[in-house]
Amino acid sequence: MREHIRIGAVVLFAVLVIAGSFYARNQRIAAVNHTEPVLPVSERAYIETADTNNDGVTDWREAFAGRIQTERVFRPDEVGTETYEVPNTVTGQIAQEVFQNYIQAKGTGELPAGFEEQVLAATVHKAQNLQQPKAYSAADIRVIESSPAAIRAYGNNVAEAMLNNTTQDVPVQIFMDAVKNNRTADLAKLDDIITLQKEALEAVRLVPVPRALEKQHIILLDALSKIAFDTEAMRNMYTDPMLTLIRMGEFEKTLTHELFAYKSIAEVLIAHNITYSKDEFGSFFISFE
């Protein structure tokens, strides 16, 4: 691919460092204010339209941006067949968004005070919605009529599905050790854990759900979905670091969501006078009463 349509590694790294620092510093503020920031536009100025080399990019853009193109797709009649490839990672999309906003604003004149931080605020706000774990609904599960036997079987079956697909390894600890010691290869230890998490999620999804537990089951699926998604984000620290940063910022909420799901199921089981012996899988939920 030609240099003028490639986002350089150095440029991407610089954007990542700036955006990552800004996100970490403002994450709590963003959680309170969900209004998408509006980028300021400076007073309009004359923009030169000269394109000396007739490549479809004005001279001022090439001089300013080092011939970085972020949107143009080559015409069929052009020499060559290469096209611009849209970034498929959150980190790449953030880098592209920052430079698009920056170049657009620069073309209108001098940048207003505080522009850089406002660009990053808007960009990170958008990035938080670029990739999300799957959200489940009633359409994803099989609901059956409630009965004491069905509710009791549900507790055993769901707990068995989860406990048969678990490990003693702690994903966050593996992630933190790998980053702290700069051992990229150690993140591969998360692969088996991710596989188990996804298998547990699918096994739980397939359990027939008594109508009395429909809402609680969907809450549990969403929690398990977030856990698997967050672990994958840890695994991809060195290929999509911005997604890792965003998801790690949400990880405490994910764990709280998981605990709430267990407690919600326990409440329904107890309300229907369901009990389990200590050697039954369903006793897992009763421990959360």
pLDDT of amino acid 125: 67
pLDDT of amino acid 4: 36
Show the tokens assigned to 158: 């769901």
Answer whether residue 75 shows pLDDT above 90.
Answer: no
Residues 6+ apart with CB under 8 A from 87: 7, 93, 95, 96
- Which has the minimum average pLDDT: 52-56, 66-70, 82-86, 278-282? 66-70
Q: Are 100 and 71 in contact, with CB atoms under 8 Å apart?
A: yes
pTM more than 0.75: no
Distance from C-alpha of 79 to C-alpha of 254, rounded to nearest angstrom: 50
Q: Are 198 and 239 in contact, with CB atoms under 8 Å apart?
A: no
Q: What is the pLDDT of residues 173-216, one digit of tens each?
A: 998 898 888 888 999 999 999 999 999 999 999 999 999 999 99
pLDDT band for 69, please (50, 70, 90 cuts). Answer: very low
Q: What is the pLDDT of residues 120-153, one digit of tens each?
A: 666 666 666 667 899 999 999 999 999 999 999 9
Q: What is the mean pLDDT of residues 70-95?
A: 57
Q: What is the mean pLDDT of residues 17-42?
A: 42
Measured CA to CA in angstroms, residue 8 lies from 13, 120, 123, 165, 201 at distances of 9, 19, 19, 42, 38
Answer whether residue 227 shows pLDDT above 70.
Answer: yes
pLDDT of amino acid 52: 77
Question: What is the gyration radius of the CA atoms in the chain, in angstroms?
Answer: 25
pLDDT of amino acid 85: 67
Q: What is the pLDDT of residues 266-283, one digit of tens each?
A: 999 999 999 999 999 999
Average pLDDT of the chain is 75
Answer whether residue 157 shows pLDDT above 70.
Answer: yes
Answer whether residue 156 shows pLDDT above 90.
Answer: yes
